[in-house]
Structure 1
Amino acid sequence: MKNLQHSLNLILLLGAVFCPFSLAAEISIEDDFGNRLVLQQPAQRIISLAPNITEVLFHIGAGEQIVGADEYSNYPEQAKQILRVNNHAAANYELILSLQPDLVIAWQSGNGDKIINRIRQLGIPVFVIETRSLEDIPNLFTRFGALSGHAENAEQKAESFSRRLSLLREQNSAKSEVRTFYQIWDEPLITLNGAHMVSSVIELCGGRNIFADAIPLVPYVNIESIVAADPQVIIAGGSKEEKPHWFNSWRKWGQISAVRNQQVYLIGADLMQRHSVRILDGAELMCDYLQRAREK
């Protein structure tokens, strides 16, 4: 009996060595639209169809598993070397197929049904995200971690993000409200309404988006409506290194409190408009600028 048990143990051990996935549990996760994706093992060849997805995959340690990405995936630096397979309007389906991905991760708002449905028709597993709040981002980390085989690291990153977010919320919860205008373009004047995550960042810092109640997610506004709302701070999407040509045009609108008190600032669009870990870098800048406006 002892010899029989020894033989059985040896068989199980050899099976584990030569068939490492044979006893592994399958991965079963719902995307943001209730579609359940089942993988027999962590994905090793991943295509990212949006820059926020690429950033998160690198953040949790899965960057080397990305075999294709969209044309705007520019962070971290290594992401610039990944083969480009799509932009906001179209995808190269032949190239995607040739890369033999075992997982494509898509962003519903950025990619749309046309691209997502076509990739599904090709028989490639697709996981679709639509992150709507800052609190949803840690869950994005953990799901990507499970899908890519980096669950433990992803969990640590999620906890770190949550702690940092909680601290920012605590630091700004009792501060006075600041009327805020967030600008993404000049001609025409374009902003974002209260449903966009940028508005959540403004609220996190104790601000109020003056166009939070606008109906479109991306409203076109006019200077008269901005003058009437009289924002105390204006934040434009951009950086000092890549300052928009229209940034200095605010100087002629001195009747606006933000202009009169020199509270017009730039924050890199990548830090504010991508649903990834760097959005908290943008939030810290936002909170600092709103605090300066309070002190005027």
Structure 2
Amino acid sequence: MLERLFALLLLALALPAGAVEIKDDLGHVTQVPAPPQRVVSLLPSLTETVCELGACGRLVGVDRYSNFPAQVNALPKLGGMDDTNVELIAALKPDVVLVAVSSRVAERLRALGMKVIALEPRSYKDVQRVLGTIGQVLGVADAQRVWRRIEAGVAAAAGSVPPQARGVRVYYEVASGLYAAGTVSFMGETLTRLGAGNIIPPELGPFPKINAEFVVKANPALIMIGERGSEGLGARPGWDRIEAIQRGRVCVFKAEDGDILSRPGPRMAEAAQIMAKCLREKTAP
């Protein structure tokens, strides 16, 4: 115990005032000498988190999919997962670059001398942790106030779900190719908190690719799906036998709602409200 305290004391003495050491989701440790004033974010949920913590003005560039809040659309767009513009990022001279764990450019950016922090929330617990980490990076006090607001919003959404919707069997298709929201994903966790069921068992993971016959056999009473994948839903082989199709219990989410629903970050309470509205409307007597 004394050795650990001594080590922590030495670390504190070694860091300049205001500096923090951040261990990211890949295990990399990055020393941030002072709250960064020039931040690049390459993941929409991280962009939204930075802005929700009051530091939107510190962003100097974002990935092409970051589109909320509206002010980030005026920033340089730095590409996506497969075509990130490393040269432009370097030209922006960021103090810190926030990337997804799955980013293909993290090591290239580090090789150029940039401070790179990889974070990728995938569950409610992850979102709470990442909020704290980004708050620490930015030097923002009480970053967990955002988490408390999320929790309160999700609880309010759950309170709006009527008794007849409790336990309803849901199939949530998150992407074409039959990728589903599993029970252990943040989307699945939201469904659980709303009192709904999920036809995808936990052992299949967060976003499994399933086959059409699996859905037919599971016979969901309600289907959630984005606009892009909803065309021809009832014409899929055998799907005319599914209860949700027969009873018209299909919620088709618009693209703007899809962004809210698919990003594990500050707008998760809004996502819960969208799902709760679906449950209310589609299970009404």
Which TM-score bucket, shorter chain as reference? 0.7 to 0.9
Q: 1:94 to 1:250 in 2, by over 3 A?
A: closer
Aligned to 1:108: 101
Superposed displacement of residue 210, structure 1: 1.6
Superposed displacement of residue 199, structure 1: 1.6
1:234 aligns with 2:216: no
Structure 1 residue corresponding to 2:148, chosen from 159, 165, 174: 159
1:285 aligns with 2:271: no
Aligned to 1:60: 53
TM-score w.r.t. the length of structure 2 is 0.81
Structure 2 contact 219–243 (Cα < 8 Å) conserved: yes
Distance in 2, Cα, partners of 1:59 & 1:25:
22
Structure 1 contact 138–158 (Cα < 8 Å) conserved: yes
Superposed displacement of residue 277, structure 1: 1.4
Query: 1:221 aligns to what SS in structure 2?
Result: coil
Aligned to 1:9: none
Aligned to 1:87: 80
The answer for unaligned runs of 5 or more in structure 1 is 1-21, 238-242
Superposed displacement of residue 33, structure 1: 3.4
Superposed displacement of residue 134, structure 1: 1.5
Q: Deviations over 1:122-169 (max 9, x none)?
A: 1211111121322332332232222123324x3432332233334456
1:143 aligns with 2:133: yes
Superposed displacement of residue 31, structure 1: 2.0
1:263 aligns with 2:256: no
Query: 2:105 aligns to what SS in structure 1?
Result: helix
Distance in 2, Cα, partners of 1:223 & 1:179:
16
Higher relative contact order (CA 8 A, sep 6+): 2
Distance in 1, Cα, partners of 2:99 & 2:35:
17
Structure 2 residue corresponding to 1:98, chosen from 65, 68, 91: 91
Superposed displacement of residue 115, structure 1: 1.3
Higher-Rg member (1/2): 1
Q: 1:105 to 1:208 in 2, by over 3 A?
A: same
Does 250-259 or 88-97 show the bigger shift?
250-259
Q: 1:224 to 1:23 in 2, by over 3 A?
A: closer
Identity %: 27
Distance in 2, Cα, partners of 1:56 & 1:249:
36
Structure 2 residue corresponding to 1:75, chosen from 50, 58, 68: 68
RMSD: 2.7
Structure 2 contact 25–101 (Cα < 8 Å) conserved: no
Superposed displacement of residue 189, structure 1: 3.0
Superposed displacement of residue 270, structure 1: 0.8
Q: 1:291 to 1:173 in 2, by over 3 A?
A: closer
Distance in 2, Cα, partners of 1:117 & 1:61:
28
Structure 2 residue corresponding to 1:117, chosen from 94, 98, 107: 107
Q: 1:144 to 1:286 in 2, by over 3 A?
A: same
Distance in 2, Cα, partners of 1:78 & 1:272:
20
Query: 2:223 aligns to what SS in structure 1?
Result: strand
Distance in 2, Cα, partners of 1:57 & 1:171:
30
Q: Deviations over 1:42-74 (max 9, x none)?
A: 001111011111111111111111111111111
Query: 1:141 aligns to what SS in structure 2?
Result: helix
Distance in 2, Cα, partners of 1:129 & 1:62:
17
Aligned residues: 264
Q: 1:131 to 1:72 in 2, by over 3 A?
A: same
Aligned to 1:184: 174
Query: 1:219 aligns to what SS in structure 2?
Result: coil
Distance in 2, Cα, partners of 1:170 & 1:34:
39
Does 201-210 or 124-133 show the bigger shift?
201-210
TM-score w.r.t. the length of structure 1 is 0.78
Query: 1:184 aligns to what SS in structure 2?
Result: strand
Aligned to 1:26: 19
